[in-house]
Structure 1
């Protein structure tokens, strides 16, 4: 009995220390700097094949280097380069090798491309893509910083900013060809977390919630916290198939997208008004911390989500 009480006390202290650590590691100032930079006019909307997306990639590379991530196996740098129709494309990817379960992979992702220069509204023609998806890319980078600082991941963690999501998901498709999907335990794809969800504060939804027990595991790890995850409230939008999780999900990976966007009423989606000034920074911060806490048992190799049935060819 005494041993049990002691164990629970130690576990409580560890949870408290982790909560304190995350508030020091993932700060409002840090998150703001990331998203403001990625959605700045200097990035020119981060269109695929543009100078702006190259600037964004360089910024993400520098952040990965500062955090201390390693390039993926077989890569000499963080750019995962390939071609589409004879033109160069590149994901930006880094990793934290796992300890006891290094062959098992957990992926955190967001797409860093957007629409670039589009039809002007007034004097503005830059589709900055602050919510779509500078917010998700910011979350991915912040989570890399957090887990690198914790240094307790038993599984290998891969952090990837996908390119060309807006024109067909080509970055995610290429990425999926470079690993064995059977080695991927889970994928946390993060898209549009810049505004409060229809469930209110401290809440997000998971696409394809019913397809695996991924969401149930995340919610279990959030017991005692204010944050909650919910099934996708917009099934008619088919969001599960509209982001970079879809490619790996089709191969059987518990690959889901986490979002807070009220897509059925979002009037700024794919417009020049999707700028930092339209976002709720506290929502972004709370969602990142919620993901960080909810993923911990998967990162540590304690929980393994059930597989998603592979799509038949």
Structure 2
């Protein structure tokens, strides 16, 4: 399978070098611009280039306690979106959603009563599981009360129905009205069987979002995922923090995807006890579920709970800013980053603000810096859209809404480049491509990385399913080629990138801006790389695609066949107003 693009599609290496020259020339700042009406030191003046000090200042502001963890629908959102709007206005970018910088995302806020418990009766002996320590549960139905009464438990392995894999964990059982219990990740993962699905590399079937949707399609009354740190790629505390407090969703009118009435997780310890009480061994059942021929197992157990929730319909906002193209303005390169995080948890003692500095103030600061650079260079042939989206932490909902209501049609969206949780560990000899081997965007990135003296590598933990855990994935499912990069792991100054963050600060109050320890030179190198990919696309006429055999390619081919873009050299479209 060839991964080399036809020469006519892309700029030559000389043109790429010219772009690099433009980048180097941009390092000399112009006179400071007037400060925008946004929270920052009065003396701070942003520069007109990708700049580490500017980047750090954006992160400092967005991750400050004043922004209260940037939860959607809160004062933290208001401060965040107004800050972003002020920055885009200062740069001279136009509103990206008609005459507005904002795209309203209608949302449903659901706050579960965390005094709720869940009772599992095994062979006539009930046992109560407590919210937070033993399990977490919630609902996406918008119902203030969900009652499950003596629902039969069925173990459905990994909860996967994948016809193309000749795999159906629901085969031979009707789960309507029942509670399905399932494992996280893919069949074959725990057994390390490379012949099942993608082996150690998670597919979308391994994501918890898919598992709950599939349970809804099958008519289950409830769905519980058994947590294990290896399979989920994060510990129980991350699950507990993510499912505590207000949870957000799109309204059913905007997202008709199936919804199981009650969904949640139980700890591995509680699952082991449940299976033991039922006369089964969890490890043995996990091994059986990772082999072809697995059949669902009805447990001698029933689950009951009454979950009360406070429901409110609210709104959140994507922030969209546009740099119009001069020759092909109806075609656009899109940069995305999510601005939201987990907010403030008033009931928690001590530091209860989840500032989200790395996740994802860094990504938002990154697209602001690239917007600054594009605005300075100016006049790309194609438009460039910068989308700071909401509700990523709630299941990629802001980008999901945008894809359903795009300001640039998807068949005129050249590519999407996503920034999420940038590395602050310093310069690296490599550059990580999450989901490496997906699209021809890698063929553009590779010579740029070569120029930086870096090699492209896949993510070190493919079992984590990171390609399905950020906003580019909604574009990918719709067919738009998407690139998602991260910092490298082979650090030039030594050390282990991301280890401390993943273990101690991810989705915790400790994710704070730390100018004393952060090394931003690597992040600037990463930004330069993805900026140049966008510059190649914005100043060219080619249309990258997914590599042959990729599951997203069919959607892209279909949309482009239905509405072919103008041929290279064809007359320019009307200018974007």
Q: TM-score, normalised by structure 2?
A: 0.49
Does 2:433 correspond to 1:206? yes
Cα 1:8/1:291, change in 2 over 3 Å: closer
Work out which of the residue numbers 23, 28, 41 in structure 1 matches 2:52.
28
* Aligned partner of residue 240 in structure 1, secondary structure: helix
Give the secondary-structure state (helix, strand or coil) at the position aligned to 2:77: helix
Q: Deviations over 1:88-115 (max 9, x none)?
A: 1100111011122222211001000000
Query: Could you tell me how far 1:170 is from its partner in structure 2?
Result: 1.3
| Aligned positions, number | 303
- Show the counterpart of 1:250: 477
- Work out whether 1:42 is the aligned partner of 2:66: yes
Distance in 1, matches of 2:518 and 2:346, equals: 22
Picking from 182, 195, 205, the partner of 2:424 is 195
8 A Cα contact 2:97 2:103, kept in partner: no
Counterpart for residue 529 of structure 2: 290
Alignment of 1:146-165 (within 5 A): 146-165=373-392
Could you give the per-residue CA deviations for residues 47-105 of structure 1, whole angstroms, max 9, x where no partner exists?
1211112101110010000011111252x221111211221110011101112222221
SS in 2 for 1:211: coil
- Structure 1 236/19 Cα, relative in aligned 2: closer, same or farther at 3 Å? same
Using the TM superposition, give the Cα deviation of residue 217 of structure 1 relative to its aligned residue in structure 2, in angstroms: 1.1
2:106 is aligned with 1:83: yes
Instruction: Measure the CA separation in 2 of the matches of 1:240 and 1:8.
Output: 29
Alpha-carbon distance, 1:204 to partner: 3.1
- More helix per residue: 1 or 2? 1
Alignment partner of 1:250: what SS? helix
Are 1:113 and 1:165, in contact at CA under 8 Å, matched by a contact in 2?
Answer: yes
Partners of 1:293 and 1:9 in 2: how far apart?
13
Q: Which moved more, 1:114-123 or 1:49-58?
A: 114-123
Once the 2 structures are TM-superposed, how far is the Cα of residue 120 of structure 1 from its aligned partner?
A: 8.4
Instruction: Report the more deviating stretch, 172-181 or 291-300.
Output: 291-300
When residues 163 and 100 of structure 1 are mapped into structure 2, their CA distance, relative to the original with a 3 A threshold, is same
Cα offset, 1:222, TM superposition? 3.7
**Structure 1 vs Structure 2 CA RMSD:** 2.7
Choose the corresponding residue for 1:217, options 444, 462, 470: 444
| CA shift in 2, pair 1:8/1:283, >3 Å | closer
User: Mapping of 1:1-313 within 5 angstroms?
Assistant: 15-22=20-27, 24=29, 25-74=49-98, 76-85=99-108, 86-118=313-345, 123-179=350-406, 180-196=409-425, 201=428, 203-260=430-487, 266-267=502-503, 268-277=505-514, 279-307=518-546, 308-310=552-554
Structure 2: state its 5+ residue gaps. 1-11, 30-48, 109-312, 489-496, 547-551, 557-577
CA 1:176–1:88 in 2, change beyond 3 Å: closer, same or farther?
same
- Classify 1:31/1:304 alpha carbon distance in 2 versus 1 (closer, same or farther; 3 Å): same
CA contact (8 A) 1:202 1:286 kept: no
**TM-score scaled by length of structure 1:** 0.87
Structure 2: distance between partners of 1:108 and 1:12: 22
Deviates more, 1:7-16 or 1:142-151: 7-16
- Residue 258 of structure 1 deviates from its aligned partner by 1.9
- How far the C-alpha of 1:275 sits from its partner, in A, is 0.8
- Structure 2 match to 1:4: none
| 1:231-254 CA-partner distances (Å, limit 9, x unpaired) | 233211111111001111001111
Once the two structures are superposed, what CA deviation does each residue of 1:148-194 show, in whole Å capped at 9, x if it has no partner?
Answer: 11114111110011101001211101111123221111101101113
Distance 1:298 1:272, change over 3 A: same
Change (3 A) 1:228 1:154: farther
Task: Report if the CA contact (8 A) 2:352-2:509 is conserved.
Answer: yes
Q: Corresponding residue for 1:3?
A: none
After TM superposition, the runs of 4+ consecutive aligned structure 1 residues lying more than 4 A away are: 7-14, 119-122, 261-265
Residue 43 to residue 249, structure 1, CA distance change in 2 (3 Å): same
Q: CA deviation at 1:16?
A: 2.5
Against the structure 1 CA distance between its residues 19 and 302, is the aligned structure 2 distance closer, same or farther, given a 3 Å change threshold? farther
The higher radius of gyration belongs to 2
C-alpha distance in 2, partners of 1:221/1:151? 21
